[in-house]
Amino acid sequence: MIAADKETRLKLRYAGARLHVEAMAGEEAVRLVEWLVTAGFWFDEFFLILDAGPIMREISEPLRSCLRAFNALPDGFDQAVRFLADFHVNEVLDRGADPSFELFQLFEADLRGYYISGALETILPEDADFQVFRELHKAGDYFLTPYDDIWPSEEVRKTALSEHNKRVIEAAERWRARESGH
């Protein structure tokens, strides 16, 4: 296993998880390789990836090989979902990202294929903390509705969204506390 700092490991595990759940686009894979080169890492597989360009069927195996060297590939779907959630929890707690947006990214971008097909309901990990994220995400759609449709005023909507974001942050803190115990 190749050593990397915490931030790099988190980003690589996120990339490995996105690759595992087939959410990574070719352009994203090429940007990841370019970032790794800039960060001082090198694998011979980078030649194959950069030469092939953003064609996932040609670059996914060399990319898997590189991510495996960092121990950044998940063992299965449940671990991939944990890696994805860890990344978004970090964005919320360490970077101050919008909690509702990060939940949207988790479900609508990272797990999009599963979410749209309805398969997500049956294949999610039996994990109470993750189920809280799913329920909070569902509730978050409510806050995206224009205020004149269901809210008495924009101020009331913003107050409710603020409370929702507090619940997301609390769930993220519980997730991190539990995951750091692993």
pLDDT tens for 77-104 read 888 988 998 899 999 988 888 888 888 8
Q: Which residues contact 70 (CB under 8 A, 6 or more apart)?
A: 1, 2, 4, 9, 12, 16
The pLDDT assigned to 127 comes to 67
> With a threshold of 0.75, does the pTM exceed it?
yes
Contacts 24+ apart (CB under 8 A), 95-102: 98/165, 99/164, 99/165, 99/168, 99/169, 99/172, 100/140, 100/143, 100/161, 100/164, 100/165, 100/168, 102/168
The pLDDT assigned to 24 comes to 93
Mean pLDDT by 10 residues, the chain (182 residues): 83 94 93 94 92 91 94 90 89 87 84 67 67 80 66 81 88 86 62
The pLDDT assigned to 49 comes to 93
The pLDDT assigned to 95 comes to 86
Q: What is the DSSP string of 103-128?
A: HHIIIIIITHHHHHHTTHHHHS-S-H
Can you give the residue ranges of every domain in the chain? 6-69, 77-180
- Which run of H or E residues covers position 90? helix 77-93
